[in-house]
Structure 1
Amino acid sequence: MTQEQLRLADTKAQTAHWQRFGPYLTERQWGTVREDYSAEGNAWDHITHDMARSYAYRWGEEGIGGISDHRQLLCFSVALWNEQDGILKERLFGLTNGQGNHGEDVKESYYYLDNTPSHSYMKMLYKYPQQEYPYVELVEENARRTRHEPEYELHDTGIFDEGRYFDVFIEYAKAGPDDILIQVTAHNRGPEAAPLRLLPQVWFRNTWAWGTDDYRPAMRQAAPGVVQIDHKELGTYWLYCDEAPELLFCDNDTNGARLYDLEATELYFKDGINDYVIDGNAEAVNPARQGTKVAAHYRTTVGPGKAHTVRLRLSTTEHPQPFADFAEVVAARLREADAFYAELQEKLPDADAQNIQRQALAGMLWSKQFYYYDVAQWLEGDPAMLAPPAERRNGRNNNWRHLYNADIISMPDKWEYPWYAAWDLAFHCVPLAMVDPYFAKGQLRLLTRDWYMHPNGQLPAYEWNLSDVNPPVHAWATWRVYKMDKKQNGGVGDLHFLESVFHRLTLNFTWWVNRKDRNNHNIFEGGFLGLDNIGVFDRSAPLPTGGYIEQADGTSWMAMYALNLMRIALELAKTNPVYQDIASKFFEHFLYIAEAMTKAGDGSFNLWDEDDEFFYDVLHLPDGQRTKLKVRSIVGLIPLFAVEVLDEELLEAMPDFTRRLRWMFDNRPHLAELVSRWQEPGKGERHLLSLLRGHRMKKLLERMLDETEFLSEYGIRALSCCHRDNPYVFRTLEADFTVTYVPGESESDLFGGNSNWRGPIWFPINYLIIESLQRFHFYYGKEFRVEYPTGSGQLHNLLEVATALAGRLNKLFRRDENGCRPALGNSELLQHDPHFRDYLLFHEYFHGDDGHGLGASHQTGWTGLIARLLQMDPSPETTQTHQPSVAKGALGG
């Protein structure tokens, strides 16, 4: 075992708490629902970026490249000043939901470069301009641009021209679980010497101002360059600052005088360090050198091409010589991180693939966040504060009073989405299981806990609307993570984990059946289901036509859900035969959903369209009319996901389950006809459960693999580009509703306008497509071949197609023959500058034609699935021709 694996084993056994401190500090707490106490629920305006430096947060803390303990009582991050800006650079800046092309949008340049799952070694890069930061220019230019123009990014301002910026590398290396070495190195990439202030900061989250606990922890200067930190729950820590810089103390309390014109008190407020450094206000910091927040004030001038390093140590141990072993410990942790990843990456084809995967996994691990939200307390307000507006009691999330979250959770993006989303989190757990299956399993278990899951069985969606509905992929992720963990443990599966999540998910499945099947016909609704802009109407709102939509994707997700739970039950039945009966129940659910997909409602209408040979949503109007909404989108491809293969050996070991299956087929022959080739043994005496018989699957694949429809050079588009020149139009008396293929950002304000699934390439759906093709291949074998790409005349088996699709997605990040990475777009700086070209961003989605990254720039969460897909692509040549190689292994573990 590597040293990192030993640390993970100690963490799992709770013999050493290596994960007590980690990158749990969010990058944006302002503009979040949790901090919003307004009557109208406008979180972006209630606490703004400008207010943030003076406002003590209620529910969490933020910072650049920061860390905290797992309860976020003690925090650390890095602040900077270039002697040009009007404020300290303490937090990342970006546009609010009402600004810019796609809404909330960070306008900074930073990269997650390295991280181990125990957080024994971590590294990130922040690029800090030497000129005044263009806050106003970014807001005004993005406001001027229309949705038909590209976003105006920080590098578009010219702020990085001639290398006039600092590359600030922030590194952490643990000498022990509570002994953290911190190294901040600023490289001047410009042609001239430039001044820089480095201000590493330590502070306590404010837990004392709310009227529930008046205990105020303390920190004080114990010696030159040494801060003693005392907390009743954490004990005593020392912060050692090399070279004994000036220590600036204040308190993490709101400056009510600045924000609300309140009468000033005797406190030294949260913004005191900013006011001291920027304005020279000596009265803003505490001359007694004590408080609840402190910064080490390093002043330096960095020569051209030179670097300056500051070193700190945060430890529970008193060190007479805290920096004597500093270089040795940092070097050792880096070597151990290299050894950990070398073992993981031994089958990757080249250094480029290894770099991509390591940064993807670093992003996954850096995106952990302490997430704190007590809905009942949030609605009622705190004893020491003014009572919240009465409107809140009946406003956002008022029916989730049971929800109490105070955990480390994997975030989609700690600036643009600094709150968990149920289905995002499920996808996160798959790449996370590659490096830390114990944490991945804990994440999946977390959302099914009583203090997360609603008493009615619903999983919380996300803080903007906990009652919204995400696709039910939790069971899929649970099964995948279980199999990955089992493989890593030499074939021994964690049945306790599997069983505990399974029982909770049966409640959630029942919620879906009871709440989202309007007419008890096994055809499901569900709302937008994550596909914000892809449909004709906003499926989360009342329809302008009245009536309701029976959803091809909602129904397919439920068929997939039933098969996932059936497969989990069969695994549990190996040690407890009672689960055979439960597996039979979910098998029957799948059969009835399969029937409904063909004969929806009263049997007179289908979700499958025989003329187009594609699945569509069906609109039911108040007058009883039904019409198919003939938009060719991934909604019609999701039926591919409901697929499972059972081998004869498993069935022989499950006599009760098999007997029930035989009875169903003998007595309900119309159901047997709907299940693909159940009566015909497949490759190796396997049996296929799928919504699609071979013919329908081939017809879906024919469209999906057509480069004039779904197949892009970089993966499967969310919408067929047949709608580029032939938009779908639904006409009503009041208005026309149009769906047009748009490969990039949304060109309308429809559904909020801050995201767009109408064309871009989206990793989660692509990943599930690839995995489904693998499952179909497992049944059909290499003799079953389809044309790939459609119209090419070249036939390939489904595993070869799956591998080729993975290769197309991998090409987003790989260098092409010109040395460019498609995901980085057409920026010369990002593509060719040696200080940019190998640093990667893992965007929310990607342009459907040229592949450049769009949406949230650090949504490594589900785009982190690239870490798995790279293992399917043994050579970069795989996608350069139409002759894909056979994958070495399946994604399913």
Structure 2
Amino acid sequence: MNQEQKRLHQPHWKRWGSYVSDRQWGTVREDYSANGDAWNFTTHDMARSKAWRWGEEGIAGISDDKQLLCFALAFWNKRDACVKERYFGLNNQQGNHGEDVKELYYYLDATPTHSYMKMLYKYPQQEYPYEWLIQENARRSRLEPEFELIDTGIFNEDNYFDVYTEYAKAGTDDILIKITIHNRSKEDASLHVLPTVWFRNTWAWGRHDYKPALYKNSDHSIRIEHEKLAVSELYFEGDGEMLFCENETNTQRLYNYDNRQPYPKDGIVDHLIHGKRSVNPGMLGTKAAINYELTIAAGSSHTIRLRLCDHETSDAFVDFEALFNQRLAEADAFYADQQQHITNEDERRIHRQAIAGMLWNKQFYSYKVQQWLDGDPATPPPPPQRWQGRNNDWKQLNNEHIISVPDKWEFPWYAAWDLGFHCVTIGMVDPDFAKQQLQMLTEEWFMHPSGMLPAYEWSLGDANPPIHAGAVFRIFRLDAKAKGVKDFEFLESIFHKLLINFTWWVNRKDKEDNNIFEGGFLGLDNIGVFDRSAPLPEGVIAEQADGTSWMAMYALNMLHISLELATHNKAYTGMATKFFEHFLYIAGAMANMGKNHTGLWDEEDEFYYDQVRVKNHQVVKLKVKSMVGLIPLFAVEVITKETLDNNPVFAERMNWFLRHRPDLALLVSRWYEEGKQDTHLLGLLGGHRIKRLLSHMLDETQFLSDYGVRSLSRQYAQHPYNIKLNGVEMSVPYVPGDSDCDMYGGNSNWRGPVWMPMNFLIIESLRKYHFYYSDDFKIEYPTASGHYLTLKEVGTEIANRLLAIFLRNEQGKRPVFGDNDKLQNDPHFRDHLLFHEYFHGDNGRGLGASHQTGWTGLIANLIVMKNSPIADLKI
């Protein structure tokens, strides 16, 4: 066991981490407007002057796990009108494809306990083009690409600084900080670097009176006083100037009424840029920065060292480099163990940076809905419209946790199904944190009394795909493999909560009680012909192939968990039978056995479609070949003869049911035909339908691109799908890149791009089907090629296409970077990777949120899967 693995057994090593958000402005938490316009109630321009209520933001920030104290970086290049204290980006109305960060920064390395972390920020030496980015994106239509910072040419002549921030823990409350600034220019260049420490404002709201303090302790140290913190000193080297103010709102600037005190939050900025007397000459406050004014020679670098620690010392830096080198060596040893089967150096780089991004995207997240609705005693009450507005029926929700978020700038909040995918990746390096995250969403202070899991803060009541149970069982097995013992307490406790959630789905999303589910948009945004989360006309019901398939998968996941728990406690045998039966009822409904015999499989096209049921039970099929019709692949499990022998009561009950419903057994599961390893298949697709569905999915003129499986068939490139509903013409074109419509804000697109999580589930499902069918079952890959592979081999080929997004190709290019020569060729850019939200369906270019290492971090799992033997897939 290496040193980092040992630290994972000591939870206090995670007390400090990368828990500061990249963006707090423009969030629902900080929105106290009457109309719920979060983007305009707090803005990027306001952020430097406003004390936040619910969390903090910063560049390369760290904090303790209660976010009482924060540390982050700020810069000023002597040209900008404001200090760079936070990343800049456009709000949802400003971007031609929705909100988008307009900076270049990279999460390069991290260990699960945050014992070592490294990131890079590229800071231009020229004036930052704030207005140009706003105006040009406003000018562009949805048919044009987003205008990014690198498109301005600001990096073309290498007039920028590379700022590397590294953290290494000497102890649980003893953090070494190294900031290395490289001048990439051919000329000397000056800037201010301001390492900043501050307390989250917990005292201004009338709920807690205690106010902590920062003050000058010596010429090279700041004393930190907080009744709940062990950290007590910030030491720094060099001739930095200490500047102090308060983490309090500048009400004069924002609201035109007098400040409560003379040194507000933006006091350091006003002092530095405008020469105002806005810092405390008494060297006291709740926010402090050390101002280093540097001139760095062309092509040279400068290093700043600091130490945030829990003790006084006469020489804080005597062991600094030795400790730093030790932590880096331990990080290397940790990843050497993780990558022992990965031989390709570029794959190792991708794997390590993907996991680093997952670990950097952990955030302190506080949002107590009842308090948010009520307002605070010391502030004006929120407008009464809030009680009928966003999230008003989630009063029980009480968040104050470290949570894995999709992207700390674009999505600085959790989303239920994103989080399930995050845990599948995080579980490879830190199964305890993954378990805690999954358990968290089912706690009483998260889960709605009705049984619903919270979706995401913009609309907690939206329904995300129910992947939670599948993630739980994956993590249970990863944890058991890592520790050599099964955590039945975790599995059992979460199973009971998932029972309630499963019942919520059955009661709320199956209006016709026919085992065909509606669900809503289910995370696939604009994939349909209409907004699937919007209310339909009276009497109209949308019956969804994806919603029904997700529920079939959910039933199988719960069956899987029940059988595992039954080895520990036979009382769970009955639950296994329940979910076995429920799966078969759903499968039967999908296969033309629902009420009125209108299943979701279309015999003519041999594909699954959504359908709309109108008055008099007339059914209109929405014949769009999209990811919706591929999701039935995900509902598959394999049961072994060994499992049945070990659970005779389950086997008896199951066989009784099958004898009484042979139609379901024959139609759905091939139950009477054992696989090569004495296995039985539970899946929505028998052999014939698998082949027919995969013939579409593996067709390069339809779903299969060079970079994975697209979310929409390419057949609609020249001839979009069109339909007329209620007198309205609707169309679904193939759009392989950014969205060309404003459904869901337009900042994501499911009409052609490649999405990593869906491809991951496709690959996993193919491996399960292969486990049953063995090497004897082969399919044409690609369709019409005359080349046949096993289902496992097909999955591996899809994984290789996904990996090709990031790997250098024969021309030395990484498709993720598109056609940008700087990103492709410059040695200071080409190996720093971004893990985007989704990818262009034709050329693999990264799109959407640029740091969504959340579910795109699954590329790390695929690299491990590709280089390791097939996983144990049996029940």
**TM-score interval for Structure 1 and Structure 2 normalised by the shorter chain:** over 0.9
Paired residue secondary structure (2:667): coil
What residue in structure 2 maps to residue 673 of structure 1?
A: 666
Aligned counterparts of 1:545 and 1:105: Cα–Cα separation in 2: 37
What residue in structure 2 maps to residue 141 of structure 1?
A: 136
Task: Report the residue type matching 1:400 in the other structure.
Answer: W
Per-residue Cα deviation, 1:824-851 (whole angstroms, up to 9, x for no partner): 1110000000000000000000000000
Task: Report the residue type matching 2:138 in the other structure.
Answer: A
Alpha carbons 2:601, 2:607 under 8 Å: kept: yes
- Does residue 373 of structure 1 match 2:367? yes
- Does residue 479 of structure 1 match 2:480? no
What residue in structure 1 maps to residue 212 of structure 2?
A: 217
Paired residue secondary structure (2:157): helix
- Does residue 780 of structure 1 match 2:773? yes
- Does residue 435 of structure 1 match 2:449? no
Which residues of 2 match residues 653-802 of structure 1 at below 5 A? Answer: 653-732=646-725, 734-802=727-795
- Does residue 590 of structure 1 match 2:583? yes
> What TM-score do the two structures reach when normalised by structure 2?
0.99
Aligned counterparts of 2:530 and 2:692: Cα–Cα separation in 1: 26
Give identity over the alignment, percent.
60
What residue in structure 1 maps to residue 606 of structure 2?
A: 613
1:269 alignment partner, one of 264, 269, 275? 264
- Does residue 3 of structure 1 match 2:9? no
Q: Kindly state the Cα deviation for residue 734 of structure 1 after the two structures are TM-superposed.
A: 4.1
Sort the Cα spacing of 1:222 and 1:150 in 2 relative to 1 into closer, same or farther, 3 A: same
Which residues of 2 match residues 118-137 of structure 1 at below 5 A? Answer: 118-137=113-132
Alpha carbons 1:117, 1:436 under 8 Å: kept: yes
Task: Report the residue type matching 1:456 in the other structure.
Answer: S
Paired residue secondary structure (2:244): strand
Sort the Cα spacing of 1:486 and 1:312 in 2 relative to 1 into closer, same or farther, 3 A: same
Q: Give the unaligned 5+ runs of structure 1.
A: 12-16, 875-886
Per-residue Cα deviation, 1:511-546 (whole angstroms, up to 9, x for no partner): 000100101111101100001010011110023686
What residue in structure 1 maps to residue 245 of structure 2?
A: 250
Task: Report the residue type matching 2:520 in the other structure.
Answer: G
Aligned counterparts of 2:671 and 2:245: Cα–Cα separation in 1: 71
Alpha carbons 1:226, 1:244 under 8 Å: kept: no
Aligned residues: 874
Alpha carbons 1:98, 1:104 under 8 Å: kept: yes
Alpha carbons 1:755, 1:855 under 8 Å: kept: yes
Aligned counterparts of 2:695 and 2:509: Cα–Cα separation in 1: 31
What residue in structure 1 maps to residue 275 of structure 2?
A: 280
Q: Kindly state the Cα deviation for residue 733 of structure 1 after the two structures are TM-superposed.
A: 5.3
Paired residue secondary structure (1:24): coil
Task: Report the residue type matching 2:647 in the other structure.
Answer: M
Q: Kindly state the Cα deviation for residue 203 of structure 1 after the two structures are TM-superposed.
A: 0.2
Q: Kindly state the Cα deviation for residue 891 of structure 1 after the two structures are TM-superposed.
A: 8.5
Aligned counterparts of 1:683 and 1:83: Cα–Cα separation in 2: 71
What residue in structure 1 maps to residue 24 of structure 2?
A: 29
Q: Kindly state the Cα deviation for residue 888 of structure 1 after the two structures are TM-superposed.
A: 2.5
What residue in structure 2 maps to residue 72 of structure 1?
A: 67
Per-residue Cα deviation, 1:541-591 (whole angstroms, up to 9, x for no partner): 023686120000000000000000001010010011111111000001001
What residue in structure 1 maps to residue 514 of structure 2?
A: 521
Q: Kindly state the Cα deviation for residue 601 of structure 1 after the two structures are TM-superposed.
A: 3.9
What residue in structure 2 maps to residue 323 of structure 1?
A: 317
Task: Report the residue type matching 1:8 in the other structure.
Answer: L
Aligned counterparts of 2:291 and 2:307: Cα–Cα separation in 1: 15
2:344 alignment partner, one of 336, 350, 355? 350
Task: Report the residue type matching 1:350 in the other structure.
Answer: N
Aligned counterparts of 1:113 and 1:501: Cα–Cα separation in 2: 34
- Does residue 339 of structure 1 match 2:333? yes
Aligned counterparts of 1:891 and 1:465: Cα–Cα separation in 2: 38
- Does residue 603 of structure 1 match 2:596? yes
Q: Kindly state the Cα deviation for residue 317 of structure 1 after the two structures are TM-superposed.
A: 1.3
Paired residue secondary structure (1:599): helix
Alpha carbons 2:174, 2:231 under 8 Å: kept: no
Aligned counterparts of 2:675 and 2:52: Cα–Cα separation in 1: 60
Per-residue Cα deviation, 1:351-388 (whole angstroms, up to 9, x for no partner): 11110000000000000000000000000100000010
What residue in structure 1 maps to residue 483 of structure 2?
A: 489
Q: Kindly state the Cα deviation for residue 623 of structure 1 after the two structures are TM-superposed.
A: 4.6
What residue in structure 1 maps to residue 401 of structure 2?
A: 407
Paired residue secondary structure (1:162): coil
Q: Kindly state the Cα deviation for residue 153 of structure 1 after the two structures are TM-superposed.
A: 0.6
Paired residue secondary structure (1:384): coil
Aligned counterparts of 2:75 and 2:742: Cα–Cα separation in 1: 37
Aligned counterparts of 2:649 and 2:870: Cα–Cα separation in 1: 32
Aligned counterparts of 2:469 and 2:519: Cα–Cα separation in 1: 17
What residue in structure 1 maps to residue 179 of structure 2?
A: 184
Alpha carbons 1:228, 1:236 under 8 Å: kept: no
Q: Kindly state the Cα deviation for residue 675 of structure 1 after the two structures are TM-superposed.
A: 2.5
What residue in structure 1 maps to residue 382 of structure 2?
A: 388
Aligned counterparts of 2:668 and 2:453: Cα–Cα separation in 1: 30
Aligned counterparts of 1:223 and 1:849: Cα–Cα separation in 2: 60
What residue in structure 2 maps to residue 841 of structure 1?
A: 834
Alpha carbons 1:545, 1:732 under 8 Å: kept: no
What residue in structure 1 maps to residue 458 of structure 2?
A: 464
Alpha carbons 2:588, 2:594 under 8 Å: kept: no
Q: Give the unaligned 5+ runs of structure 2.
A: none
1:154 alignment partner, one of 146, 149, 157? 149
Paired residue secondary structure (1:764): helix
What residue in structure 2 maps to residue 91 of structure 1?
A: 86
Q: Kindly state the Cα deviation for residue 604 of structure 1 after the two structures are TM-superposed.
A: 2.5
Q: Kindly state the Cα deviation for residue 669 of structure 1 after the two structures are TM-superposed.
A: 1.4
Aligned counterparts of 1:749 and 1:66: Cα–Cα separation in 2: 33
Alpha carbons 1:519, 1:601 under 8 Å: kept: no
> What TM-score do the two structures reach when normalised by structure 1?
0.97
Alpha carbons 2:173, 2:230 under 8 Å: kept: no
Aligned counterparts of 1:244 and 1:570: Cα–Cα separation in 2: 65
Aligned counterparts of 1:604 and 1:181: Cα–Cα separation in 2: 67
Which residues of 2 match residues 534-683 of structure 1 at below 5 A? Answer: 534-543=527-536, 547-599=540-592, 601-683=594-676
What residue in structure 2 maps to residue 879 of structure 1?
A: none
What residue in structure 1 maps to residue 45 of structure 2?
A: 50
What residue in structure 1 maps to residue 287 of structure 2?
A: 293
Aligned counterparts of 1:372 and 1:81: Cα–Cα separation in 2: 30
Alpha carbons 1:715, 1:808 under 8 Å: kept: yes
Paired residue secondary structure (2:59): coil
Q: Kindly state the Cα deviation for residue 483 of structure 1 after the two structures are TM-superposed.
A: 1.2
Per-residue Cα deviation, 1:641-688 (whole angstroms, up to 9, x for no partner): 110100001101101100011101111111212332100111111000
Per-residue Cα deviation, 1:399-445 (whole angstroms, up to 9, x for no partner): 00000000000000000000000000000001101110010111000
Per-residue Cα deviation, 1:580-627 (whole angstroms, up to 9, x for no partner): 111000001001001110135423212100000000011012353211
Aligned counterparts of 1:677 and 1:722: Cα–Cα separation in 2: 33
What residue in structure 2 maps to residue 20 of structure 1?
A: 15
Aligned counterparts of 2:590 and 2:725: Cα–Cα separation in 1: 27
Task: Report the residue type matching 1:418 in the other structure.
Answer: P
Which residues of 2 match residues 803-882 of structure 1 at below 5 A? Answer: 803-874=796-867
Alpha carbons 1:74, 1:204 under 8 Å: kept: yes
Aligned counterparts of 1:660 and 1:891: Cα–Cα separation in 2: 26
Aligned counterparts of 2:96 and 2:811: Cα–Cα separation in 1: 30
Aligned counterparts of 1:551 and 1:301: Cα–Cα separation in 2: 62
Aligned counterparts of 1:315 and 1:605: Cα–Cα separation in 2: 67
Aligned counterparts of 2:865 and 2:503: Cα–Cα separation in 1: 36
Per-residue Cα deviation, 1:497-516 (whole angstroms, up to 9, x for no partner): 11111111011000000100
Alpha carbons 2:122, 2:161 under 8 Å: kept: yes
Task: Report the residue type matching 1:425 in the other structure.
Answer: L
